[in-house]
Amino acid sequence: MRRIQRDINHRKGGHSCESRNPGKNWIPGQARNDKAKRTAGVMHNDTAEIQEGWILATIADTVHLNPPKPAHNALPAQTPVTFVPMPAVDAARGVISEPEVRPFSQVRKGYTAFREGDVIVAKITPCMENGKAAIVMNLENGLGFGSTEFHVLRSNGSVLPEYLYYFIRQESFRKAAEGEMTGSVGQKRVPAEFLKQSEIPLPPLSEQERIVSKVEELLGRGNVAKEGLAKVAIILKRFRQAVLTAACSGRLTADWRSTQKELESADQLVERIKRTYREEYEAQCSKAEREGKRPPKKPEILELRRVETGDLPEIPDEWTWVYLPALGYMSRGKSKHRPRNAAHLYGGPYPFIQTGDIAQSQGLITSHRQTYSEAGLAQSHLWSAGTICITIAANIAHSAILTYPACFPDSVVGVICDETLCVKEYGQPLKM
pLDDT band with cut points at 50, 70 and 90 for residue 50:
confident
Considering the domain architecture, whether residues 331 and 408 belong to the same structural domain is answered as yes
Average pLDDT over residues 235-251: 82
> 234: Cβ–Cβ under 8 A, 6 or more apart, which residues?
none
Range of the domain at 268: 263-319
* Residue 348 in domain: yes
CB 263 within 8 A of CB 318: yes
> Is the model's pLDDT at 345 over the cut of 60?
yes
Lowest mean pLDDT among 123-137, 155-169, 301-315: 301-315
DSSP summary character for residue 124? B
Q: Rounded distance, CA 143 to CA 113, Å? A: 8
Q: Percent of the chain having pLDDT more than 70?
A: 86
Q: Give the pLDDT of residue 2.
A: 30
Q: Give the pLDDT of residue 223.
A: 79
Q: Rounded distance, CA 390 to CA 411, Å? A: 9
Considering the domain architecture, whether residues 83 and 186 belong to the same structural domain is answered as yes
> Is the model's pLDDT at 243 over the cut of 70?
yes
Considering the domain architecture, whether residues 72 and 141 belong to the same structural domain is answered as yes
Considering the domain architecture, whether residues 410 and 329 belong to the same structural domain is answered as yes
Considering the domain architecture, whether residues 395 and 337 belong to the same structural domain is answered as yes
Q: Rounded distance, CA 54 to CA 28, Å? A: 13
Most confidently modeled of 1-5, 7-11, 421-425? 421-425
User: Domain holding 184: CATH number?
Assistant: 3.90.220.20
* Residue 92 in domain: yes
Domain boundary among 290, 319, 348: 319
Considering the domain architecture, whether residues 272 and 315 belong to the same structural domain is answered as yes
Q: What is the tally of structural domains in the chain?
A: 4
* Residue 238 in domain: yes
Count of beta carbons in the 10 Å neighbourhood of residue 377: 17
Q: Which residue has the higher pLDDT, 424 or 282?
A: 282
Cis-peptide into 296, omega within 30 deg: no
Average pLDDT over residues 60-75: 94
Domain boundary among 282, 303, 319: 319
Q: Which residue has the higher pLDDT, 100 or 98?
A: 100
pLDDT band with cut points at 50, 70 and 90 for residue 88:
very high
> Is the model's pLDDT at 4 over the cut of 60?
no
Q: Rounded distance, CA 240 to CA 137, Å? A: 43
Q: Rounded distance, CA 423 to CA 137, Å? A: 58
Average pLDDT over residues 370-375: 96
Considering the domain architecture, whether residues 332 and 242 belong to the same structural domain is answered as no
CA neighbours closer than 13 Å in the CB half-sphere of residue 347 = 5
Considering the domain architecture, whether residues 425 and 335 belong to the same structural domain is answered as yes
Q: Give the pLDDT of residue 237.
A: 78
Q: Give the pLDDT of residue 29.
A: 35
> Is the model's pLDDT at 367 over the cut of 70?
yes
* Residue 84 in domain: yes
Q: Rounded distance, CA 296 to CA 293, Å? A: 9
Q: Which residue has the higher pLDDT, 380 or 4?
A: 380
Average pLDDT over residues 371-376: 96
* Residue 81 in domain: yes
Q: Give the pLDDT of residue 299.
A: 81
Which residue blocks in 260-401 are alpha helix, DSSP H? 266-290, 300-303, 355-359, 374-378
pLDDT band with cut points at 50, 70 and 90 for residue 39:
very low
Q: Give the pLDDT of residue 245.
A: 81
Average pLDDT over residues 390-414: 93
Q: Give the pLDDT of residue 424.
A: 67
Considering the domain architecture, whether residues 68 and 185 belong to the same structural domain is answered as yes
